[in-house]
Structure 1
Amino acid sequence: MLNPHFRYSAFLVSFLSCWFLLQVFWFPSTKTNNPVPKPQYPAATTTVSAVTATTKCNGRVSVYVYNLPAEFNLGLLEDCSHLNVYTNMCPHVANHGLGQPLNNMDHGSTDSNPNPWFATHQFIAEMIFHARVENHPCRTWDPSEANLFYVPFYGGLHVSSKFREANHTIRDALAVRLADYLQSQPTWRNNHGKDHFIALGRTSWDFMRTDSGPDFGANCLLNLPCVKNMSVLTVERNPWKGINQHGIPYPSYFHPSTSHQMLTWQNMMRQSNRPHLFSFIGAPRKGVDKAAIRDEMIKQCGESSRCKLVKCDRGNPKCYDPAEILGVMRESQFCLQAPGDSFTRRSTFDSILSGCIPVFFSRHTAYTQYAWFLPPEESKYSVYMDEQGDESKRIEEELLKIPKEEVERMRARVIDMIPRLTYVHPNASDIGFEDAVDVALEALAKHVRDKIQDDNNNAAIAESM
């Protein structure tokens, strides 16, 4: 009779052997040096690089997320119908800020790869950013390990609910309470907030009200002394006074959950037929400067057989349909990007998503805004026409001067840029490329590290004198 210990050992060896064989031959492997699934088109056309959680963080990025009182973020959503004086935001704050799903878009979704398209509001980046960081591989629950401290304040949603509030004290109250809350935290006092950051879904002008300047419904958030110590991520920074402000992309409509969805879309944009030399989607504007450049664009586009014009006045429904907007851009080689109510436009990121080369008329529409996200070689992916130049200059003639080979190189560069300007679905993780939040956290960690080191060096020098 066999010894019971021997029988147990033999059974254990047999069980482990069977388990190993099942892992090798039956279950798909989850350990790989390249998490990007093999694309369904030639590998030479891929642009997504393999990025794992380890390489994303790797000691460089460790972000702690403040658990703020609800009044500063999620509590605001309880009255979502009054978050914007112009529209009901309830449909837009759904799905972590992605909005309502779009079912009329081209995409490669399956049961395992859900629809990546949503009717995303242009001023909702702060919610998407929050949801993404909550599930980010570089998040830490231990503040002693963090080199970044994220303050998830829905400042843009709050300020847009107070645009018609005449009393400045009421308009500023929540921002002031946030500042008081932060300065009472031990994590704040370590570096006086220099390692803290906030992400805002509206332009910086909505948070920089001064007693002498125009009102525009803005509050005082970015003028508060403690917030000036922080880094501020915003869809449009002040190019002159926003020393602590950093531009982040406006969210578009595409929020993939897998690298396959990204690769499939990029390949579609490479193969897209583009019969229009250029296009313009927009409405006329009031005001001398804005009206002049917009009116000239609309005039020239309307007169050209090579331009597709979508005029967004009188409630044109095409201007509110993402499928229509991206459809026009997908059929265009160049997309005109005039300044809107402010310098920047969400349309810039819609055009890049569509593989359409942006044409800028102000350097502040992109070049001075999104240094972390756009290549430094501006002419490699865009065209610049000085808005202060000759207004009679024919846009069509200038674009026709660009050689066909150069246009193709520019379009390839634009399509290569899509991943880092996209906000992936908040539930996605380790999808194989760096999205807008990854890029922002990496750049922000370096910025904060350099800033604190410079301040410490300056303090040491002052003490030695």
Structure 2
Amino acid sequence: MADRSIHVLGLRCRKPLFLFFGFVALCSLSHGSTSSGSPPAAPIVGSSVLPSSKILSVVESTGGAEMELAGHQDRQHERCDPERARLKVFMYDLPAEFHFGLLGWTPKGDGVWPDIKEEKIPDYPGGLNLQHSIEYWLTLDLLSSRFGDRRGPCIAVRVMDSREADVVFVPFFSSLSYNRHSKVTPPMKESTNKMLQNKLVQFLVSQEEWKRSGGRDHVVMAHHPNSMLDARMKLWPCVFILSDFGRYPPTIANVEKDIIAPYKHVVRTFENDSSGFDDRRTLLYFQGAIYRKDGGFIRQELYYLLREEKDVHFSFGSIQANGIKDSTRGMRSSKFCLNIAGDTPSSNRLFDAIASHCVPVIISDDIELPYEDILDYSKFCVFVRTSDALKKNFLLKLIRGISKEEWTRMWERLKEVEGYFEFGYPSQKNDAVQMIWQAVARKVPEIKLKLHRHKRFSRFDVDR
């Protein structure tokens, strides 16, 4: 039966017809009476930044199935109930060298995980490293999923018996391994990053869980485009969590099998933003590397087209010196922010723009976007084909033709959806961590279909 609930100020209320209006009033009163009884918010660990509390409720519909997508709200009174989690996850106890050991943490005795309730959690490196830090946040979320006092709801819960699990999680901090350990240091003949990938493959293929599924139910994080260059061809049956498909052949990674996750933005979230259309004096903003390889040629072409326009900021920039502060100021004072294909179809710039409430203008024909099966990006982004963007005057005519009212609608929507792209620990309802787990959960039926087909003739398989 279809869910016949209504949402009033972020609460869900059932609506038998004869009590419809009474329930509306009751739900509204209930919402107003809970704020004083909410316990204090849990501490935020590491470099996470969570946006201010909001009272928002957004319902997205997909094929008749309804899913509530809410922003960060005053919901700390909700707790993780393992029995109600949508996704059961078995996580390998990989040695520390694959995860927190890469952050300088040393295990005690035979343990492989830090005691995240009692000891300081190692910080993930800052700067551009943070872009690909999903491995850190997802692992922390699983480690804490069985805490009895965990605040906030949970989508995924860790189980200790792999036969009870929907998926098998591989906690290798592959992006950090690439960023920090890709160089060969004499007298070593191969890099630590390559060595870890080889050891990971050897470990996985020897496990009973892999033998049962052929890796089809294994979830592997490879968010940095270069993070699993040596192992990806051997782990192709797995579900990869990626930033895009730019450096993958479709036989190894594709939208049907794998998951696109957001970058962690590096600018701070624009809290209490009241800077409307007239307050943002710059029409169009871009600051970053202009000369790129592969599909990034469009950046330099657009630079030559737009650099003389008086209400456009298009310049070179980097994270060095005050690069992040400059980008923060620039995006917050601009109506539209360009997100242009670079070496790969995606970049962190899109998520910096969302956090800055600067309406993204996406010029990247091959880009894949996080949660796009349930989230309509056209309500808060402008999409332009590369071929059109390179036509003289096309882009600026399009942007200048967007009315103040239309821009304001997109700006308001940006403020509603920004929470879906926020990483932090402890995780909050419908933040990036929970949204990624939801995306994994939506893959489970297809994974089970593949596993069942894989088993068709398994009872007749014999050594020949």
| TM-score normalised by length of structure 2 | 0.68
Q: In the alignment, residue 135 of structure 2 is paired with which amino acid?
A: E
Which residue in 1 is equivalent to 2:24? Answer: none
Structure 1 residue corresponding to 2:197, chosen from 175, 180, 186: 175
Instruction: Determine the structure 2 residue equivalent to 1:60.
Output: 86
Q: Which residue of 1 aligns with 2:239?
A: 231
Query: Do structure 1's residue 442 and structure 2's residue 438 form an aligned pair?
Result: yes
Q: Which residue of 2 aligns with 1:154?
A: 173
Listed as ranges, the matches of 1:56-455 within 5 Å are: 58-78=84-104, 96-99=122-125, 121-136=130-145, 137=154, 138-143=156-161, 144-161=163-180, 163-165=182-184, 172-203=194-225, 205-207=226-228, 219-224=229-234, 227-237=235-245, 238=248, 240-241=250-251, 242-243=253-254, 244-253=257-266, 267-268=272-273, 273-287=279-293, 290-291=296-297, 293-312=298-317, 317-319=321-323, 321=324, 323-365=325-367, 368-370=368-370, 372=371, 377-389=376-388, 391-394=390-393, 395-424=395-424, 426=425, 428-429=426-427, 431=428, 433-455=429-451
Shift in alpha-carbon separation, 1:96–1:250, aligned structure 2, 3 A? farther
SS in 2 for 1:197: strand
Shift, 1:149, TM fit: 2.0
On the 8 A contact 2:104/2:122 being kept in 1, the answer is no
Number of matched pairs: 369
For residues 288 and 172 of structure 1, do their structure 2 counterparts lie closer, same or farther at Cα, with a shift above 3 Å needed? Answer: closer
When residues 97 and 278 of structure 1 are mapped into structure 2, their CA distance, relative to the original with a 3 A threshold, is: farther
C-alpha distance in structure 2 between counterparts of 1:98 and 1:148, whole Å = 25
Kindly provide the amino acid, as one letter, of the partner of residue 329 in structure 1. Answer: M
Structure 1 316/231 Cα, relative in aligned 2: closer, same or farther at 3 Å?
Answer: closer
Equivalent residue letter for 1:403: S
Distance in 1 between the 2:215 and 2:453 partners? 18
In structure 2, distance between residues paired with 1:229 and 1:288: 27
**Separation in 2, partners of 1:123, 1:157:** 8
Tell me the secondary structure at the aligned position of residue 342 of structure 1.
Answer: coil
In 2: Cα distance, 1:54 partner to 1:357 partner:
34
The whole-number CA distance in structure 1 between the counterparts of 2:125 and 2:294 is: 35
> Which amino acid counterpart does residue 446 of structure 1 have in structure 2?
R
Instruction: Give the structure with higher Rg (CA).
Output: 1
CA separation of 1:379 and 1:79: change in aligned 2, threshold 3 A: same
**Contact kept in structure 2, 1:333 and 1:356, CA below 8 Å:** yes
Q: Measure the CA separation in 1 of the matches of 2:56 and 2:238.
A: 43
Work out the CA distance in 2 between the residues paired with 1:388 and 1:308. Answer: 22
Counterpart-to-counterpart distance in 1, 2:191 and 2:57: 58
Kindly indicate whether the alpha-carbon contact (under 8 Å) linking 2:283 and 2:334 is maintained by their aligned counterparts in 1.
yes
Cα distance between partner residues in 2 of 1:41 and 1:193: 40
Relative to 1, partners in 2 of residues 1:44 and 1:361: Cα closer, same or farther, differing over 3 Å?
closer
SS in 2 for 1:233: strand
Please report the RMSD computed on the Cα atoms of aligned residues, expressed in angstroms.
Answer: 3.9
Shift of 1:29: 4.1
Deviations 1:372-423 (A, max 9, x none): 2575544322112221336243232220112222211122222222111111
Give unpaired runs (5+ residues) of structure 1: 1-27, 32-38, 81-93, 101-117, 208-218, 256-261
The one-letter code sitting in structure 2 at the alignment partner of 1:180 is Q
Change in Cα spacing, 1:318 to 1:326, as seen in structure 2 (3 Å) is same
Give the share of equivalent positions with the same residue, in percent. 20
TM-score, normalised on structure 1? Answer: 0.67
* Counterpart contact for 1:332–1:356, Cα < 8 Å: yes
Q: What is the CA distance between 1:316 and its match in structure 2?
A: 6.1
Inter-CA distance 97–363: structure 2 relative to 1 (3 Å threshold):
farther
Q: More helix per residue: 1 or 2? A: 1
The answer to whether the 8 A contact 2:197-2:230 is kept is yes
Is the partner of 2:388 in helix, strand or coil?
coil
